[in-house]
Homo-oligomer: A and B are copies of this chain.
Amino acid sequence: METEIVVLEKLKLKKPILIQGLPGVGNVGRVSAGYLVSELKMKKFAELYSPDFLPIVILNESLTHMLKCEIYYYKGKSNDLIVVTGDTQSVSPHGHYEFCSAVLDFAQKMDVESIITLGGFAEGKMVEKPKVIGAVNNKDLIKKYEKFDIDFKDHSVGTIIGASGLLVGLAEKNKIDGLCLMGQTMGYPMITDPKAADSVLHIVSKMLDIKIDLTRLDKIVEEMEEKLKKAEDLYSKMSEDARAKEDVRYIG
């Protein structure tokens, strides 16, 4: 069994832009992509299955669902949109490469014009007004995109772990423009951050010149605010304790 994309509907799309948002830091990618799919009433036309996902099924109303990613489309004005989102990322290093490789093959078959991946950027503390940090696979793209309030300055050096970075990296090998958008978030495990997703979606909306009604998400953000603050207090207390117990381990 290999990573496989099952096409449910054969389509010819117009200069499509592929957007990928998967579970990860603050769940920013998945929430952003999911909101996009739901607000734009996008239609599913393909599914991705992989033996490198966890060997589990999800139960909902007693119905089993295999872990999978779902691929949606939207008919846009100048560009159609493809959104890849889903339950999970791969569980092995090798699996991440297989996954992104399969998505990229699919993107090439659909004649994708460019790829945008959505994710979170772990700040380790709460961020009042999350910025959106950008990374590109082609220097010229910085000029093209920086007018949309994407930050290419403050975090221009580092690493991106997982599928959002890797897909953009692999895209370069195939001469496809790639942009990774990362909304600043606390990055504590198990905390979904809709506020960072909101920031990301504001930019996606402007970039793609697509009207996305964000009021529903804004409301969720308001409700989450207090919960997130409590979480931060707890985590910062815990990490202070941890630091106190820890010996110095590394030398820079």
A interface, CB within 8 angstroms of B: 1, 6, 49, 51-66, 90-94, 96-98, 101, 134-139, 142, 152, 155-163, 165-166, 168-170, 172-173, 178, 180, 188-191, 231, 234, 238, 241, 247-248, 250-251
A168 and B64 within 8 A (CB)? yes
**Distance of A76 from chain B, by nearest CB (Å):** 25
| Contact A93 B55, CB 8 Å, known A137-B64, A173-B49 | yes
CA distance A103 to B148 in the complex (A): 43
Number of copies: 4
Other 20 A-B pairs with CB < 8 A, given A55-B161, A62-B134: A49-B173, A51-B93, A55-B162, A55-B166, A59-B155, A59-B156, A59-B158, A59-B160, A61-B156, A61-B157, A62-B136, A62-B142, A63-B137, A64-B135, A64-B136, A64-B137, A65-B169, A66-B166, A92-B94, A238-B247
What are 27 A-B pairs at a CB distance below 8 A?
Answer: A51-B101, A53-B93, A54-B93, A55-B161, A55-B163, A56-B159, A56-B162, A57-B160, A57-B166, A57-B169, A58-B158, A59-B135, A59-B160, A62-B134, A62-B136, A62-B142, A62-B152, A63-B138, A63-B139, A64-B136, A64-B160, A64-B168, A65-B169, A91-B93, A231-B251, A234-B248, A241-B247
What residue in chain B is nearest A50 (Cβ atoms)?
Answer: B97
What residue in chain B is nearest A164 (Cβ atoms)?
Answer: B57
